A and B are shown apart, each in its own frame.
Chain A
Amino acid sequence: MMTTTLISHLKCRECGTEYEPIRIAVCEKCYAPVDVIYDYSKMSFTKDSFVNRPRTIWRYEELLPVIEPKYRIDINVGFTPLVKCTNLGRLLGLEHLYVKNDAVNPTYSFKDRPAEIAVSKALEFGDKAVGCASTGNLGAAVAAHAAKAGLPCYVLAPVDIEAEKIAQITAYNAKIIGVKGTYDEANRLAVMASEEFGWNIVNITTRPYYVEGSKTMAFEIAEQLDWKLPDQIIIPVASGALLSSITRGFSQIEEVGFVPPTPVKINGVQAEGCSPIANAFRAGEDIVKPVEKPDTIAKSIAIGDPGDGIYVLKYVRDSGGIVGAVSDEEIVESIKLLARTEGIFTEPAGAVSIALLQRMVREGKVAKDESIVCCVTGNGLKTSEIVPTEGNGFDIEPNIDALSALVEKW
């Protein structure tokens, strides 16, 4: 098969230094993030080209950074449902409310997107082992892809992540290294490990490529809205990589001319117990003061020192959106609300977007006729202890009298 990617080169987001598409983590000069740049002049596909393409992230192969198709790992990631939320919309008084349901990816979070690109890229670079620093979801995503690719996988995660995530990572046969500390400490150790042992820690060692995967969420939203962008979007934020990637995805899909230029309000949301970016947003600051000890039930987004924090502030402010922080109580209530109205069961890190949505409605920040997409990024089964089971109260003997007695009480 022929090369289809339109990748041209890499470029430092701060100092502009350009690089060939090499195995690189950050700018060699100023250590800022490095972005993948594509050459649209070579583009030969149109919106119509999509009709016969696979319903996975590889549908957008031209705008992804894997050069040789033979290195592609494909476990059916992406093209997740964009659900029109008629029930929740009615309740909140919104006519065009959507949920991008990334809880139904192969490993049950959006992290399959960056992991699939990163592990493919690792094969292309000839790496012999992959790994990641993770709050759990990325660990599962990289471990599953490593299993498919036949590579050993090392996941560094805080010891106190949810049992479900540990079970999942273990099942994929990755080595899970429980770090007695925060995510940031695990991340730092991962930087050292990549140097010490030569592992491709995908969210560090080959970060410019890794973050490209999440862009596909923006492409899909555009395509699923019949090649339009929404008026607003709400995105859960930990490191800020997802929000940065979706923002880049929206501008790329405009640049290639598939959607008309649209001013999308980009909104980010964190949990109150770990909200360094929301704090900076509220204070009107450009720098992000890290949180040393995150404390929230939304463990997936408990990153105290967010790598892309300053860019989240910039993209959100440029777009006229907000970065909010929601409480654990609001999160639990939002998990239940989304499940009960739309049949979508998310983990706390996905429910933050529903919590912020409700607050924005109360504060008049979203109009009835605006289209708004809430990104639901992870699955509720990853954190099953969050919503207490009410089932135990309803245990009965296996006969109709017992059942009738119970039903009468309702």
Chain B
Amino acid sequence: MVEIKVRLYGNLVGFANGQKEVSLSASSVKDGIDHLIATYGELAGRLLDKDGNLETFINVLVNNKDIRYLDGLETEVKEGDKLIIMPAIGGG
């Protein structure tokens, strides 16, 4: 387990007690999200679906890179990594 920072966007902040950024320890993205949900229960149904997959309209980045280009939720994290969790708002 390493220490990482998680930055939330959109109304996700409200479901984390108004915290925009939280520090937590994790070994992977999935692990980080699980810890986040353990602390802020209201985030539960918003980030992961009932099978434990990332919700369709949520994007997760590790050091600004979308985890869909990495190993998805299984992506490992290193000490000091920055996770961003945000609603996926289509542009174009």
Q: Please report A residues at the B interface, Cβ cutoff 8 Å.
A: 25-28, 30-33, 132-133, 135, 138, 183-188, 190-192, 195, 203-204, 207, 238-241, 289-290, 292, 303, 305-308, 310
Contacts and interface: CB of A to CB of B under 8 A. Distances in A.
Contacts of B55: 30-31
Nearest to A190: B91
B2 interface: no
Contacts, number: 82
Closest A-B pairs by Cβ, 8 of them: A307-B90, A239-B92, A31-B57, A187-B91, A31-B87, A133-B91, A238-B92, A204-B89
Contacts of A303: 91-92
B9 A195 contact: yes
Nearest to A308: B90
Contacts of B88: 31, 305, 307
A28 B13 CA distance: 12
Nearest to B87: A31
Q: Which residue of B11, B56, B68, B91 has the most chain A CB atoms within 10 A of its CB atom? A: B91
Range class of the B interface residue count: 20 to 34
Given A290-B68, A292-B69, A28 B92 contact: no
B91 A204 contact: yes
A189 B1 CA distance: 29
B91 A239 contact: yes
Nearest to A114: B92
19 contacts: A26-B10, A26-B57, A26-B89, A27-B57, A30-B55, A31-B10, A133-B91, A135-B92, A184-B66, A188-B59, A190-B91, A191-B86, A191-B87, A238-B92, A240-B90, A240-B92, A241-B90, A241-B92, A306-B90
Interface string B44-65: 0010000000011111010010
A25 B89 contact: yes
A307 B11 contact: no
B92 A203 contact: yes
A199 to B, nearest CB: 14
B89 A191 contact: yes
Nearest to A132: B91
Contacts of A31: 10, 46, 55, 57-58, 87-89
